[in-house]
Structure 1
Amino acid sequence: MTNPVQARSFDAEAAAYAANRPSYPPALFDAVEELSGRPLAGARVADVGAGTGLGTARLRERGAQITAVEPGDGMAEQFRRSLPDVPVVRGDGNRLPLRTGSMDLITYAQAWHWTDPARSVPEVRRVLRPGGALALWWNDSDPRVEWIADQDRRLRAFFGAEVPTVYDDRARFRAMLPDALDFRTRLVTWSRRVPVDTHLANIATYSDFLIADPAAVRDCLAREHAVLTALFPSGEVEETYVVSLAVARP
């Protein structure tokens, strides 16, 4: 599991997270239904690490009966503001506060990497009904787009991180999926057009930025603003994403 301080860094910026983070495309939920072998309509779903409810809202639109699970105080509070009619219980994937055999589907929208699979996998198996499924997904900027790849290199340089020589959009699967589960996978590409300021506000909610020196972050984002406004004089950028989806029937 990643540093818990980093995992909880979102709480202080929950409102900004809700306002600026991207949601998910309808094609993702089509793929969840296909790979899990059942419709979302009427399914009992636990959305774990639900955050401010970006994924939860889309699942509910598909007719799922949702219970959200969220460990963070700030994120849970923002969730209740955004989705006041959806129940949210406090907890995390390592110890699910849910009854045994109570769920048809357990989802992790950009949250599985905060768990310890040695604990979270047995919890998934305990909570799922027979024939149930686990769906994990991550929403990543598409490095095949030139300006996104250039920005990624600049941000990696800011954090002193290694820049990959070859981008591998399946690397997350290999790094994050436990060997104990047999997953089917799908990649879904989509995009949204937003103002430059929204794009930068989204980046500012990344956990690496949230735990970094605030003055250095402000300088970094100011430099990015100058680069992007020169590249996009209209003041808008088209963010292109690849959602990496994995579905298993434990």
Structure 2
Amino acid sequence: MSTSSSPSHIRARARSFDAAAALYGANRPGYPTELFDALEELAGRPLEGARVADVGAGTGIASALLAGRGARVVAVEPGDGMAAELRRAHPGIPLVRGDGDRLPLASGAFDLVTYAQAWHWTDPVRSVPEVRRVLRGGGALALWWNDLDASVPWIDAQDRRVAELLSAEPGIAPRGLAAGLAFATRQVRWARRVPVDTHLANLASHSAFLVLGDGASGDFFAAERVRLLALFPDGVLREDYVTTLCVAVP
């Protein structure tokens, strides 16, 4: 898939989630306990009592898990649909509207700034100074992503079919870490068991499919459902994930 895309296409991809917020919230995976253990270790402080800004919070998947560890979380989300779903699902989590390039947050107010599945939507030239501004001294920036584990044969085969389908779809630049920051990294392997239809809905909630349109994507998902049910006749499969965590103290 091409890794170049116009700013307008990137904006369309980023905002495509708003029309699919309920789909996203219901079917995207969460994150394992071990991820937050590693986050505490690499950040050098417990989440309990930490003041955390969760940027690009989406429907609040990471925000809620951080709050469950005792963090005092403020969610930051630009999209109308995603913000509405976050408010519905997690009414106790404070939410402010904004994005990572223009954080609507007080300077020096946070111990930790997190981007769960969201850093690749930012411009590090703008987002890094904003992170530095809102962090307290010694505070940390944490980025993480869930990726399906392509070492699993059926996942690798599906990845290849997805890449073939989306070969003409302009891609988003590959995720990268901000120059000038020293990141410590950790990978956590985990899995969840879900119905085939939940797996397909999870896949359908990704921006490349959301902007593709119902025609091509509908045919693709119908064919995938047949393939997966042949592999998993009881209708339940195991999604294996590798979650990559990157933590820096700017």
- Name the TM-score, length of structure 2 as normaliser: 0.94
| Amino acid aligned to 2:102 | R
Paired residue for 1:73, among 59, 70, 80?
Answer: 80
Distance 2:153 2:23 in 1: 27
Q: 1:84 aligned to 2:75? A: no
Check conservation: 2:196, 2:228, Cα contact below 8 A: yes
Matches within 5 A, 1:11-90: 11-90=18-97
Aligned to 2:159, the other structure's residue is in SS state helix
Q: What is the identity, as a one-letter code, of the residue corresponding to 2:196?
A: V
Percent identity between the aligned chains? 62
Partner of 1:124: 131
Deviation string for 1:41-100 (max 9, x for gaps)? 000000000000000111001000000000000000000001101110000010100000
2:158 equivalent to 1:151: yes
Q: Report the counterpart of residue 4 of structure 2 in structure 1.
A: none
Aligned-pair distance for 1:161? 6.7
Aligned position for 1:168:
none
Deviation per residue, 1:91-136 (Å, 9 max, x gap): 0010100000000000000000000000000000000000000000
Residue of structure 2 equivalent to 1:177: 177
Q: Give RMSD over aligned pairs.
A: 1.2
Residue 10 of structure 2 is aligned to residue 3 of structure 1: yes
Looking at structure 2, the residues matched to 18 and 235 of structure 1 have their Cα atoms a distance apart, in angstroms, of: 21
Give the aligned partner of residue 3 of structure 2: none
Instruction: Pick from 97, 100, 112 the counterpart of residue 93 of structure 1.
Output: 100
Correspondence for 2:229 = 229
After superposing on structure 2, the runs of 4+ consecutive aligned residues of structure 1 that deviate more than 3 Å are none
- Give aligned pairs, total: 239
- 2:205 aligns to what? 205
Verify the 8 A CA contact 2:229 2:235 in the aligned structure 1. yes
Tell me the amino acid that sits aligned with residue 78 of structure 2. P
- Unpaired runs of at least 5, structure 1: 163-171
Q: 1:244 to 1:161 in 2, by over 3 A?
A: farther
Contact 2:75–2:95 (CA under 8 A) maintained in structure 1: yes
Displacement of 1:180 in angstroms is: 1.4
What secondary structure sits across from 1:139 in the alignment? strand
Measured after TM superposition, the shift of residue 213 of structure 1 is 2.4
Alignment partners' CA distance in 2, 1:219 and 1:22:
24
Q: Which runs of 5+ in 2 are unaligned?
A: 1-6
Aligned mates of 2:213, 2:51 — CA distance in 1: 42
CA distance in 2, matches of 1:50, 1:14: 12
Q: 1:167 corresponds to which residue? A: none
TM superposition shift of 1:179: 1.4
Q: Structure 2: which amino acid aligns with 1:11?
A: D
In structure 2, C-alpha distance between the alignment counterparts of 1:36 and 1:161, rounded to whole Å: 40
SS at match of 1:104: strand
Deviations 1:21-45 (A, max 9, x none): 0000000000000000000000000
Cα distance 1:231–1:157, how it changes in 2: closer, same or farther (>3 A)? same
Give the counterpart letter for 1:216 in structure 2: A
Name the CA distance, whole Å, in 2 between partners of 1:55 and 1:196.
24
Counterpart AA for 2:249: R
The normalised TM-score by structure 1 is 0.94
AA of the residue aligned to 2:26: A
Measured in 2, the distance between the counterparts of 1:91 and 1:153 equals 35
Q: Indicate if the aligned counterparts of 2:64 and 2:93 stay in contact, CA closer than 8 A.
A: no
**C-alpha distance in 2 between matches for 1:213 and 1:84:** 32
